[in-house]
Amino acid sequence: MKCYYCALEGKESEAVAICIVCGMGLCMEHTIRKDVDVWEGGYPLPSRRVKAPLPRILCPECYAALYGK
Amino acid sequence: MTVSLGKRFVAEAVGTFILVFFGAGAAVVTLMLAVGTGQATPFNIGIGALGGLGDWLAIGLAFGIAIAGAIYTFGRVSGCHINPAVTIALFATGRFPGRDVGPYIAAQLLGAAAASLLFAWAIGPDAVTIGGLGATAPFHGIGYLQAIAIEAIGTFLLMLVIMGAAVDERATPGFAGLVVGLVVAGIITTTGNLTGASLNPARTFGPYLGDWLLAGQNLWEFFPIYIVGPIIGAVAAAILYDNLCCGD
């Protein structure tokens, strides 16, 4: 699979990841890794943050849509 | 990693404040509405004079809706026990750390006291002299031990539902707050005119302190009912549930 963003720019590069939201193939340059905290538990016990965050791979467009950046 | 103890302390205090302000407050307003309607029997103190058991259902729903709101708001922060009996039952069954029990109970008592005092200030002297700030006491014909038993049985049902609807990992997610609130409303409807249906030492502590400070009314002789009964009931329910429903 090729990187969609690079293809738009007329370049060709191998995809190393896929956006978890839209499924777009992404090269390292266009990959955004967003670590998300995971919480477990809750009423009637305080919720607890799991030590390791959950990694999420996003393309720049989905990242901007989700996080407004 | 959990939320810091300081934040959980505030969450417990605010949650208990909501419970007492709106729940016990509903009892005060009912008594103020019933003033002058006459007392049919010594068993009728005013709540029930206008709507019979419907008065107690309304008070129960005020408690239940406030509790559900607090649970959905603070459940993830502190666990939203808002009841020392629940805190002690969770500790007794090894689910809650002993070092946090004292701060949690202190927060619950602080929140309840603040709610009663602020309610008295907001409504005025009638809230204390007529409504008694919604303080609980055994009704006519209900003895001390009977009152302890009624409080224990009511809290037993409450804690049993907390165990089944929230603590048990197999419970349907998202419904605990609603179910716990409705169960509290049901318990209050039945046992409200027997003991006041406190089910919660903090809920009784707030109005007792307010009545004592603002009107010199001393109800502390009844306080052990609302400590011993709820704690026995909650601990028994948690242990029973663990033995009946966990493991094989």
Which residues, 6 or more positions from A61, have their beta carbon under 8 angstroms from its beta carbon? Answer: A22, A24
pLDDT for B203 equals 98
pLDDT at B15: 98
Q: Is B179 on the interface with A (CB under 8 A)?
A: no
Residue type, B117: L
3-state secondary structure of A2: strand
Question: Which of A43, A46, A51 minimises the CB distance to B3?
Answer: A46
Between A and B, how many CB-CB pairs are < 8 A? 43
Average pLDDT over residues B136-153: 97
pLDDT at residue B245, as a whole number: 86
CB distance from B166 to chain A under 8 Å?
A: yes
Per-residue model confidence (pLDDT) at position B248: 59
Would the CB atoms of B2 and A39 count as touching at under 8 Å? no
Q: pLDDT tens, B65-123?
A: 999 999 999 999 999 999 999 999 999 999 999 999 999 999 999 999 999 999 999 99
A14-19 long-range contacts, CB within 8 A, separation 24+: A17/A57, A18/A57, A19/A57, A19/A58, A19/A59, A19/A62
Q: Which residues of B touch A51 (CB under 8 A)?
A: 1
Question: Which pLDDT score is estimated for B40?
Answer: 63
- Per-residue pLDDT band for B247 (boundaries 50, 70, 90) equals low
Q: pLDDT at residue B38 above 80?
A: no
- Alpha helical stretches, state H, chain B: 5-18, 25-34, 53-74, 84-92, 101-123, 126-129, 144-162, 176-195, 201-215, 223-245
Note the helical H segments in B2-52. 5-18, 25-34
Residues from chain A that touch B78, judged by Cβ atoms under 8 A, are 46
Is pLDDT at A2 greater than 70 in this prediction? yes
Beta-bridge mates of residue A18:
A25
Locus of tokens 């701060």? B103
Select from B134, B74, B135 the least CA-distant residue to B107. B74
Q: Which residue of B has its CA nearest to A51?
A: B1
Report whether pLDDT(B44) > 70: yes
Query: Using CA of residue B16, residue B22, residue B26, residue B28, what is the dihedral sign?
Result: positive
Q: What is the ipTM of this complex?
A: 0.82
Cα–Cα distance, B226 to B190 (Å, whole number): 17
Q: Which residues of A touch B2 (CB under 8 A)?
A: 46-49
Query: Helix, strand, or coil here: A28?
Result: helix
Task: Identify the CA nearest to B27 among candidates B51, B50, B49, B56.
Answer: B56
d(CA B144, CA B222): 8
Distance CA A48, CA B193 (A): 40
How far does the CA of residue A37 sit from the closest CA of chain B (Å)? 11
CA B172: distance to chain centroid? 24
Q: How far are the Cα atoms of A45, B106, B225 from residue B200, in angstroms, in the given order? A: 18, 14, 10
Taking the domains of chain B in order of start, what are their residue ranges? 5-245
Categorize the per-residue pLDDT at A69 as very low, low, confident or very high, splitting at 50, 70 and 90.
low
Domain extent, residue A48, equals 4-67
Whether pLDDT at B206 is above 80 = yes
Would you state the CATH architecture of domain B5-245? Up-down Bundle (1.20)
Q: What is the b/e burial string over B8-31, where b = at least 16 CB atoms within 10 angstroms of the residue's CB?
A: bbbbbbbbbbbbbbbbbbbbbbbb
How many structural domains are present in chain A? 1
3-class SS of residue B248: coil
Residue pLDDT, tens place only, B148-168? 999 999 999 999 999 999 999
Contacts of B229 (CB under 8 A, 6+ apart): B147, B148, B149, B150, B151, B152, B154, B155, B195
CA distance B102 to chain A (A): 16
Interval B15-27: pLDDT, tens: 999 999 999 999 9
Q: Which pLDDT value is given to residue B1? A: 76
B76/A contact by beta carbon, under 8 A = yes
